[in-house]
Chains A and B, each alone.
Chain A
Amino acid sequence: MSVLEAPPSYRRLLYGLSETNTRSDLSEHHRRFGGCPLPPPHHRHRWRERFHAQIELSGLTGRGGAEFPLATKLAAVRAHRRHGVVVVNSMEGEPASQKDGTLARYAPHLVLDGAELMAALLGTSQIYVCIARDQRGAVQAYEIAARERRQWDSSSVEITICTPPAHYVAGEESALSQWIDGGRAAPAYRPDRPSIPVIRGRVALVDNAETLANVALIARHGSEWFRSVGTPDSPGTRLLSISGAVSRPGVYEVPFGPTLEAVLDHAGAPAGGLSGVLLGGYGGTWLSSDEISTPLSSNELKKIGCSVGAGVVVALERGHCGLAETARIVEWMATQSAGQCGPCVFGLPAVADDLKTIATTDVSPAIVERLWRRLLAVEGRGACRHPDGVIRLVRSALRVFSDDVEYHLANGPCPGVHRPSPMTGISERRIVQWR
């Protein structure tokens, strides 16, 4: 999949990428973006408050899926009495997402700059970079980048490259911190939300790679500059991994504001129209072909119950069966359960089963009703938000493809069921590892 540039005025994280798609080593990184504006250690005291205020003014939210305001998270970690560590989350458990891998390969120093800045804010020198074990290219890129930085300035921070198992839920905050602490890469039960993960007695600030790359740019250009693109409620740009029925799939840097339709047109949406668009990830939501004219901003998307999430956009061509695609996704997501909570372990396969029944056989209304009841039975009853994401996806599918449900109830399976699926990453068997 090639990496293409966004329209030039919005080139920020992907700035300077050429068609040859070269990796940026440290000198190239300095040429493109300048040096990391980190004051020397004895000047940091006042800088910390100013930079924290900059991040708050910028309105930067997490780019990993939850879209939580970074300044709030930072304040919570800084308020803790214990020392902190910084964790770079480049796990990218969403199979259809490529953005963190792209950043790893082509702008790892931007991400590491952001990590160093956060470490300076917390007053720590410990940084963990977590990349899924099977993404060897990204792992290598970060290792080379870390080595370059150490050669350039050996006294700064200690960057540890970690490779947790490649599992969907392993990228969750508490799963990562438990794994770094020597346990299983499975989410913990945290009844007092929001809670701060702890690694070896120190509080951890876990941030997505894209978020940290934005932090590095805010440090260089300020919060005003950051807010100069995007919308008032959603400033800045997002990296979107666009795939499916588009002629130019890839990672696009897109400002908030344009409609999803415009973005898909830019990526080459099919002339015949779309049956639906999956936004956010396999734990995200479907949008109907009418709803894609919603502007990309968190307020607008929230009105239809959606969010940009992890930046995954999968276009489903007209003639494909959205219910069958959802069934495939849910079946895969069921295999990605950590296996800790009964409602998830048993509920997700049951929901997948019902969806498969609806999509592929002559289904009765009782099955559809049972599916609705099961959605209620599974939602909110796991230790983590994995089953909640799946249930939200299914609810959106039943809403967007409600006509298809009626059709299936009346006529049985539709011809679209057998079309090749645009969903990536769900057909190959993965080796199940937890440590």
Chain B
Amino acid sequence: MIAATSPLIWYTTRASGVVALILLTASVCLGVLTTTRFVTRRLPRFAVSELHGRISSIAMVFVLLHVVTAVFDTYVPIGLPATLVPFTSGYRPLPVALGTVSFDLLLAVTVTSILRRFLNAKLWRGVHWLVYASWPIAFAHGLLLGTDLRFGWMQIVSGACGAAVLGSIGWRLWANPYRGGLRTAAPQGTEADTLPMEREPLASLSRRYRTVEKSDTASDGRVVARYTGTHRR
């Protein structure tokens, strides 16, 4: 078993942790972006999705590097079980456990994505949503354990990553033009089937374009619930 200590291994752990944080942040932001059907003239929608996938793969490489060097470095007593089982680390159990949990979730996401074509689509999607738990836990792991946080640059990087994820989720929920409404830009190959909006004489059903409004009306006529969303209930 290779177990040694050297400043090189220790610095690799710290550096790969920082890079993993940045790449995972980018991955989460891009993932959120795909749900908004984001498209520009140079970047088609499938490209946003592919970028998300490839950056995630690179991020996992750095996560693995971070985990492996942390375990095999004898400078701090983090044993091998701590890669998968939380609270088994000798060194600062809680912050390391956060990293362990986050890594476990990421492993599940990675494995299901590799085996995607053999899995039920809903199962894949359910596991993929675990990322929304994994990223904050990894972020907390970095905040509690980050040896480099005493440096200003690291504080800026952490802050930027936090802001990026919060910002993209906020934009997705409240500000993005897709939001169940008209597509922002049509990709190639759309059938130009409709009249331009200004010339349509009747403004009528808002459910025309993606927002579906259904009201539950109680027997006394009160509207009990009104919900909007995409067509999938």
Q: Check B232–A340 contact: CB distance below 8 A.
A: yes
Q: Check A349–B208 contact: CB distance below 8 A.
A: yes
Q: Check A432–B207 contact: CB distance below 8 A.
A: no
Q: A353 near B: Cβ within 8 Å?
A: yes
Docked Cα-Cα span, A429 to B217, in Å, equals 7
Q: A12 near B: Cβ within 8 Å?
A: no
Q: B30 near A: Cβ within 8 Å?
A: no
Residues of chain B contacted by A346 (CB below 8 angstroms)? 207-210, 231
Query: Smallest Cβ distance from A36 to chain B, in angstroms?
Result: 40
Q: Check A353–B195 contact: CB distance below 8 A.
A: no
Q: Which of A334-366 contact B (CB under 8 A)?
A: 339-342, 345-346, 349-350, 352-353, 356-357, 361-364, 366
Docked Cα-Cα span, A362 to B218, in Å, equals 37
Residues of chain A contacted by B125 (CB below 8 angstroms)? none
Docked Cα-Cα span, A350 to B194, in Å, equals 11
Tell which of B52-60, B75-83, B91-99, B198-206 binds the partner.
Answer: B198-206
Q: B214 near A: Cβ within 8 Å?
A: yes
Q: Check A373–B208 contact: CB distance below 8 A.
A: no
Residues of chain A contacted by B101 (CB below 8 angstroms)? none
Interface pairs (30), CB distance under 8 Å = A339-B212, A339-B233, A342-B231, A345-B207, A345-B212, A346-B207, A346-B208, A349-B205, A349-B207, A350-B208, A352-B205, A353-B204, A353-B205, A353-B208, A356-B202, A356-B204, A357-B201, A357-B202, A361-B202, A366-B195, A367-B195, A367-B201, A370-B193, A370-B194, A370-B195, A373-B193, A377-B191, A377-B193, A429-B215, A432-B214
Find the B residue at minimum CB distance from A342.
B231
Q: Check A431–B216 contact: CB distance below 8 A.
A: yes
Docked Cα-Cα span, A364 to B218, in Å, equals 40
A339-B232, A340-B231 are contacts. A361–B212 as well, Cβ < 8 Å?
no
Q: Check A432–B193 contact: CB distance below 8 A.
A: no
Q: Check B202–A345 contact: CB distance below 8 A.
A: no
Residues of chain B contacted by A429 (CB below 8 angstroms)? 215, 217
Docked Cα-Cα span, A352 to B204, in Å, equals 10
A339-B233, A345-B207, A349-B205 are contacts. A432–B216 as well, Cβ < 8 Å?
yes
Docked Cα-Cα span, A363 to B200, in Å, equals 10
Which residues of B approach A to under 8 Å, CB–CB?
191, 193-195, 201-202, 204-205, 207-210, 212, 214-218, 231-233
Q: Check B233–A431 contact: CB distance below 8 A.
A: no
Q: Check B209–A431 contact: CB distance below 8 A.
A: no
Scoring A349, A362, A363 by chain B CB atoms within 10 A of each residue's CB, the highest score goes to A349
Query: Smallest Cβ distance from B97 to chain A, in angstroms?
Result: 38
Per DSSP, chain B at the interface is: loop
Q: Which of A201-224 contact B (CB under 8 A)?
A: none
Docked Cα-Cα span, A363 to B218, in Å, equals 37
Find the A residue at minimum CB distance from B205.
A349
Docked Cα-Cα span, A345 to B231, in Å, equals 7
A-side interface residues, number (CB < 8 Å): 26
For the complex with contacts A431-B217, A431-B218, 11 further pairs of A-B residues with Cβ separation under 8 Å are A339-B212, A339-B231, A339-B233, A342-B231, A346-B209, A346-B210, A353-B205, A353-B208, A377-B193, A429-B217, A432-B215
Find the B residue at minimum CB distance from A434.
B233
Residues of chain A contacted by B214 (CB below 8 angstroms)? 432
Docked Cα-Cα span, A366 to B205, in Å, equals 19
Find the B residue at minimum CB distance from A345.
B231
Docked Cα-Cα span, A421 to B231, in Å, equals 30
Residues of chain A contacted by B233 (CB below 8 angstroms)? 339, 434
Docked Cα-Cα span, A340 to B233, in Å, equals 7
Residues of chain A contacted by B207 (CB below 8 angstroms)? 345-346, 349
Docked Cα-Cα span, A363 to B195, in Å, equals 13
Residues of chain A contacted by B212 (CB below 8 angstroms)? 339, 345
Find the B residue at minimum CB distance from A376.
B193
Query: Smallest Cβ distance from B45 to chain A, in angstroms?
Result: 16
Query: Smallest Cβ distance from A35 to chain B, in angstroms?
Result: 43
Docked Cα-Cα span, A367 to B232, in Å, equals 29
Query: Smallest Cβ distance from B73 to chain A, in angstroms?
Result: 52
Docked Cα-Cα span, A271 to B218, in Å, equals 42
Find the B residue at minimum CB distance from A433.
B216
Docked Cα-Cα span, A350 to B206, in Å, equals 10
Docked Cα-Cα span, A349 to B204, in Å, equals 9
Residues of chain A contacted by B217 (CB below 8 angstroms)? 429, 431
Residues of chain B contacted by A342 (CB below 8 angstroms)? 231
Residues of chain B contacted by A341 (CB below 8 angstroms)? 231
Q: Which of A244-274 contact B (CB under 8 A)?
A: none
Residues of chain B contacted by A374 (CB below 8 angstroms)? 193
Find the B residue at minimum CB distance from A354.
B202
Docked Cα-Cα span, A342 to B233, in Å, equals 12
Contact with B along A2-37 (1 / 0, CB 8 A): 000000000000000000000000000000000000
Cross-interface CB contact of B201 among A339, A340, A361, A373, cutoff 8 Å: A361
Find the A residue at minimum CB distance from B203.
A353
Docked Cα-Cα span, A345 to B210, in Å, equals 8
Residues of chain A contacted by B194 (CB below 8 angstroms)? 370
Contact with B along A24-53 (1 / 0, CB 8 A): 000000000000000000000000000000
Q: Check B231–A353 contact: CB distance below 8 A.
A: no
Q: List the 6 closest pairs (A to B, CB-CB), nearest first.
A: A345-B231, A349-B205, A429-B217, A357-B202, A353-B204, A349-B207
Docked Cα-Cα span, A370 to B200, in Å, equals 11
Find the A residue at minimum CB distance from B202.
A357
Docked Cα-Cα span, A362 to B215, in Å, equals 31
